[in-house]
Amino acid sequence: MLRTQLYADAHHLFLHDLVLDACRRNAPKTALVDTSCGRRLTFAEYGDTVESVARSLIATGVKPGDVVAIFLANSWEFCAAFHATQLAGAIPTLLNPTYREREVRYQLENSGAVLLITDGGNIEGINLGGLPNLRRVYTTRQHAAGAEPFAKLLNPVTAVYPKPDQSSEQTLAALPYSSGTTGLPKGVMLSHYNLVANVYQLLGPNATALNSADHILCCLPLYHIYGLNVILNPALILGATLVLVPRFNLQAMTKLLIDEAVTMMPLVPPAINALCQAAEAGQFPRDHKVLWVKSGAAPLAPELARRFTALTNILVCQGYGMTEASPVTHVGFLEPALYRPDSIGHPLAETDCRVLLQPDIDPADTPDDLTEAPCGVPGELVMRGPQFMLGYWKEPQATAAVLRDGWYWSGDIVTRDGEGFYRVVDRRKEMIKYKGFAIAPAEVEAVLLEHPAVKECGVIGRPDDAAGEIPVAFVALRDGFVENHKLGEELCAFVADRLTHYKQPRQVHFVDSVPKTASGKILRRELRKSIG
């Protein structure tokens, strides 16, 4: 096994302490370049900012164990708010900046957030009233009625940082929300030890090529665990320079590659495809310094990786993981003898994996009860390691369904070859992956069922070259409603008004009834067959 050691011992360490220590060691070096406002922060400035915001949070009454919601696009304010919340002893929960009112209110209420840090434009038209725990709202650049300016948190105040009353293994460092297959998103309880261990797994011997000299261009959203703990935290801890882009923008990114001497980029497959098309059109700079890109969040087609490297001379390293694993469990290699961009690579250090053969696994089974799949034969991937979550927030039954005897049941079907390389071949879960974002069909179906025309419905993902998958809805109408194109558009718009844009169906197929099992579960495979 090539990966046996972490970068360092991850026990008894708190993430914000590691970041602040890096700020002291790399004081004059540029830590963050925020392209949304042109601001550049040195490590010394970033450390001072984090400490100022943390003291102000404490002074406003934020206590250890409180939840602070961060509802921002990629920005220096997002980063500072995240690490300052931890330094104040509180727990950051992260919201997608494209969320609609329904999604925002759900996460704020479910998490019990006492304070919200956002921007005025993000909460325009959103009613934040009636949330029992929410006491204050701060806005960063655009003001909103009833909110206080984020700049107020940068004012000098006196406060004493709390000392943790639990170990790093038990103290929550982040509460991201992950879309589940059964209804609304669930809060994933990640401890400081989980996050630090995963960073140290990524930086350990024979793992990734990240280093302190890197200039990393990040268009991945930081609210997502991929951007947060594969890029932001490792970059700061290493002393690398992170160039933040609010969202993927082809023209802006190709210019930044040269202007910021970028050496590495984290991407998702649709972004890699867009860069391939730019290169074919002669719009990708030839004199770039990018050595490799990391691909994750969705399966990478082998031909796409080969095409990208042929066009740009940039290597592709595919990885695999999930929010529940902080997020990385597997990652590929860049060394020629081990370069397999079609594979998710080998497990990270201290990550145990089993590939279990049975297609229909009883929920009471443990890995020891089941048969390991031979090389090349598909089976469910079951894992354990220091990066796996403590459980789902306020969801003991959901936790017990995926964490059994210390093993996490991924729901993904993989193969493992004779050289130890893993490849994802299918999902037992029903998630739709749109440009790397997970969509729970049940969440979209629940909204569609609120429309007066919908008697029953089912949602599946349809393969799409640009997005990976797009949501498609199958709808049976109530008596008195007639299927037509206009109604289909109305149903798509109905979802778009209530859920973030990427969750809305791109097509509606009207059916007499939605196929189900005897127990009433939607037969999604039958829906997939109907669209080929």
- Structure-token pair, residue 336: 């020629």
Residue 439: per-residue pLDDT:
85
Q: What are phi and psi of 382, to 5 degrees?
A: -125, 135
- Structure-token pair, residue 72: 């921002």
Give tens-digit pLDDT for 193-251: 999 999 999 999 999 999 999 999 999 999 999 999 999 999 999 999 999 999 899 99
Angle CA 170–194–187, to nearest 5: 75
Residue 83: per-residue pLDDT:
98
| Domain assignments of the chain as residue spans, ordered by start | 15-317, 322-427, 432-530
- Structure-token pair, residue 516: 């189900």
* Regions of the chain where pLDDT drops below 50: none
CA–CA separation, 131 vs 183, rounded Å? Answer: 21
Going by their DSSP bridges, the two strands 148-149 and 136-139 should be labelled as parallel
CA–CA separation, 171 vs 181, rounded Å? Answer: 27
Residues with Cβ within 8 Å of 239's Cβ and at least 6 positions away in sequence, in order, are 22, 25, 26, 29, 43, 212
Which fold would CATH assign to domain 322-427?
Luciferase; domain 3 (2.30.38)
**Dihedral, 122, 124, 129, 134 alpha carbons, nearest 10:** 20
Total-model pTM: 0.87
Which fold would CATH assign to domain 15-317?
Rossmann fold (3.40.50)
Encoded amino acid at 177, one letter: Y
- Structure-token pair, residue 313: 């001379």
Residue 521: per-residue pLDDT:
67
Q: Which of 117, 125, 121 is nearest to 148 (CA)?
A: 117
Half-sphere CA count of 221, side-chain side, radius 13 A = 16
SS3 199: helix
The architecture CATH gives domain 432-530: 2-Layer Sandwich (3.30)
Encoded amino acid at 308, one letter: F
Going by their DSSP bridges, the two strands 437-439 and 507-510 should be labelled as unpaired
A 10 A CB-CB count for 521 gives: 10
Strand partners, 315: 292
- Structure-token pair, residue 319: 């990885």
SS3 459: strand
**Dihedral, 409, 415, 420, 423 alpha carbons, nearest 10:** -90
CA–CA separation, 316 vs 294, rounded Å? Answer: 6
